[in-house]
Amino acid sequence: MNTREELRKLPSVDRLLQAPELAQAIAEWGHNLVADLARAVIERAREAVLGGAPCPGYEALARDVAGELERVTRPSLRPIINATGVIIHTNLGRAPLSAAARAAMAAVAQGYSNLEYDLEAGRRGSRYDHAVTLLCQLTGAEDAVVVNNNAGAVLLALAGVAAGREVIVSRGQLVEIGGGFRVPDVMRQSGARLVEVGTTNRTHLRDYEAAIGPETGALLRVHQSNFRIIGFTAEVPLSEMVALAHQHDLPVIDDLGSGTLLDTTVYGLAPEPRVQESVAAGADLVTFSGDKLLGGPQAGIIVGKARWIQVLRRHPLIRALRVDKTTLAGLQATLLHYLRGEAEQEIPVWRMIAARPEDLECRARAWTAALKAHGIAADVAPAQSAVGGGSLPGETLPTTAVVLTPRSAEALGRALREGDPPVVARVVEDRVWLDPRTVLPEEETALLSAIRIAWERIHG
């Protein structure tokens, strides 16, 4: 093959743009974008020819440009079907929202809203007032403020009450959360100085008492939300920390991480500290997430004593951490589910946690029958779902999974992820596992179709 001859076959950018296949693309997206992509496709083809490959045909190059355009213009953030069985999947957007939360967010997004306008007084209001009444009603707190996530909530709490001063925390609570973010790093950014007390596995009240001095700004408790220490352990009850701190007129910050308003033991899970319990124990500031066990949009929620919440509302950092109107609307709609006593029925996270094993088995068997009817090697098997999201470490719920045995499990898993909609499943021991617990009922038809298409793609 003559490389020079092959290079001469490459069309110019202008010539390639005249391809009939690209006319609609140019009309829709403009000449400049399509020309840039055509230039890149031609350059890739040139490099391939120089490497010894034959020159692609004119039509093939035009198809490559159209494919590049589709890739570039397709939104990178897409809805997916979570068939992993991990309920609060950090990589998959954590908590899916209730219908009411989605509707509330859409309603305020489509036009103007009273985000920072007091309709009654006819003057400027505060975005931080919108969820306060509901949060106080549900938790028993005096006041509340909402920021963009729980790390931001902890940062604001530390900066607001203890910047330039010492914050005492147990060594066993210096956790690292997802993405490599660590409590000591957050504390350092807040301007507070870390004082570690106790040991990794045992901390006593006397350790806190010995560490309190004139430079102390607060006591901090951090819930070990993503790991457990078992065996020879000791922790100081929150109520005792509060009593000690208040003797010295110091606040206690209780970082719950996920945080829950419902009793997790009702669902056969280990106890997760409830926000109401922390408030009742006297914690001055309690921080938790909006998008984990609460089941709402991403947010960092701080509830507690009005004295300290007002300090946080006036802190300059709050502007950098503020939430937008859609988050507040979705959060309020989510909180209303709790107020009505319908969280288990309406909030997807709790509906998944509360799902009965027999109902999950019924769904799995129905999927299996439908897939077998299309010649797909499918069966059911007992499995375990995880709560996930840094909540309830090691805790699982019994489920029944659909197990696919393809020619290549890795290839099928990839084909599912590349489908429309993408499906994320678990690949274990050369088989693909799909857990119905995390698949919404309205997604079932799309899921079965995606599986059939992916199966056909790798099996021919």
CATH of the domain at 200: 3.40.640.10
Is 298 found in the same domain as 160?
yes
pLDDT of the residue at 1: 63
How far does Cα 246 stand from its chain's mean position? 36
Question: At 192, is the pLDDT very low, low, confident or very high (cuts 50, 70, 90)?
Answer: confident
Q: Are 305 and 139 in contact (CB under 8 A)?
A: no
Is 359 found in the same domain as 342?
no
Average pLDDT for 411-415:
97
| Structural domains in the chain (count) | 3
Place of tokens 């036009």: 111
Is 115 found in the same domain as 85?
no
Q: Are 144 and 292 in contact (CB under 8 A)?
A: no
Enter the DSSP assignment of 374: T
pLDDT of the residue at 421: 94
| Amino acid (one-letter) located at 201 | N
Token output for 136: 């106080």
Neighbours of 217 (CB within 10 A): 21
Instruction: Check residues 5 and 236 and name the one with the higher pLDDT.
Output: 5
Answer whether residue 177 shows pLDDT above 80: no
What DSSP string runs through 416-435? HHTSSS-EE-EEETTEEEE-
Is 197 found in the same domain as 181?
yes
Is 190 found in the same domain as 48?
no
Q: Are 323 and 144 in contact (CB under 8 A)?
A: no
Is 373 found in the same domain as 246?
no
Answer whether residue 340 shows pLDDT above 90: yes
Answer whether residue 390 shows pLDDT above 70: no
Average pLDDT for 121-130:
92
Which CATH number characterizes residue 375's domain?
Answer: 3.90.1150.180
Phi, psi dihedrals of residue 135, rounded to the nearest 5°: -65, -40
Please give the share of the chain, as a percent, with pLDDT higher than 90. Answer: 79
Instruction: Check residues 226 and 397 and name the one with the higher pLDDT.
Output: 397
Kindly tell me the sign of the dihedral angle through the C-alpha atoms of 258, 95, 186, 252: negative
Question: At 180, is the pLDDT very low, low, confident or very high (cuts 50, 70, 90)?
Answer: low
pLDDT of the residue at 220: 95
The residues near 202 (Cβ < 8 Å, ≥ 6 apart) are 172, 232, 233, 234
Is 110 found in the same domain as 57?
no
Per DSSP, what are the bridge partners of residue 379?
Answer: 403
Token output for 47: 């490099």
- Calculate the alpha carbon distances from 93 to 21, 82, 177, 179 in Å: 37, 10, 16, 14
Phi, psi dihedrals of residue 234, rounded to the nearest 5°: -155, 135
Average pLDDT for 349-358:
96
pTM greater than the 0.85 cutoff = yes
Last residue of a domain, one of 346, 363, 383: 346
pLDDT of the residue at 429: 87
Please give the share of the chain, as a percent, with pLDDT higher than 70. Answer: 96
Round to whole Å and give the CA distance between 405 and 151: 42
The residues near 304 (Cβ < 8 Å, ≥ 6 apart) are 141, 142, 143, 144, 279, 283, 284, 285, 286
**Beta-strand pair 143-147/300-304:** antiparallel
Round to whole Å and give the CA distance between 291 and 133: 19
Token output for 195: 């004082």
Is 199 found in the same domain as 111?
yes
Q: Are 368 and 403 in contact (CB under 8 A)?
A: no
Token output for 128: 């931080």
**Helices 306-313/150-162 angle, 10° precision:** 100
Round to whole Å and give the CA distance between 352 and 29: 42
Answer whether residue 181 shows pLDDT above 80: no
Q: Flag the least confident range among 180-189, 237-246, 397-406.
A: 180-189
Round to whole Å and give the CA distance between 83 and 95: 14
Question: At 236, is the pLDDT very low, low, confident or very high (cuts 50, 70, 90)?
Answer: confident
Q: Mean pLDDT in the chain? A: 92
Last residue of a domain, one of 320, 346, 372: 346
Question: At 417, is the pLDDT very low, low, confident or very high (cuts 50, 70, 90)?
Answer: very high
Is 292 found in the same domain as 385?
no
Round to whole Å and give the CA distance between 384 and 372: 23
Best-predicted range by mean pLDDT among 46-55, 180-189, 383-392, 410-419?
Answer: 410-419
Question: At 179, is the pLDDT very low, low, confident or very high (cuts 50, 70, 90)?
Answer: low
Average pLDDT for 121-134:
93
Is 396 found in the same domain as 273?
no
- Calculate the alpha carbon distances from 33 to 46, 66, 382 in Å: 20, 11, 51
Is 214 found in the same domain as 105?
yes
Last residue of a domain, one of 346, 374, 409: 346
Q: Are 226 and 272 in contact (CB under 8 A)?
A: no
Is 105 found in the same domain as 59?
no
- For the stretch 268-283, pLDDT in tens is 998 889 999 999 999 9
The percent helix, strand, coil of the chain (3-state, each to 5) is 50, 20, 35
Residue 443 belongs to domain spanning: 81-89+354-459
Q: Are 349 and 101 in contact (CB under 8 A)?
A: no
**Beta-strand pair 285-289/300-304:** antiparallel
Answer whether residue 227 shows pLDDT above 60: no
The residues near 60 (Cβ < 8 Å, ≥ 6 apart) are none
Answer whether residue 47 shows pLDDT above 60: yes
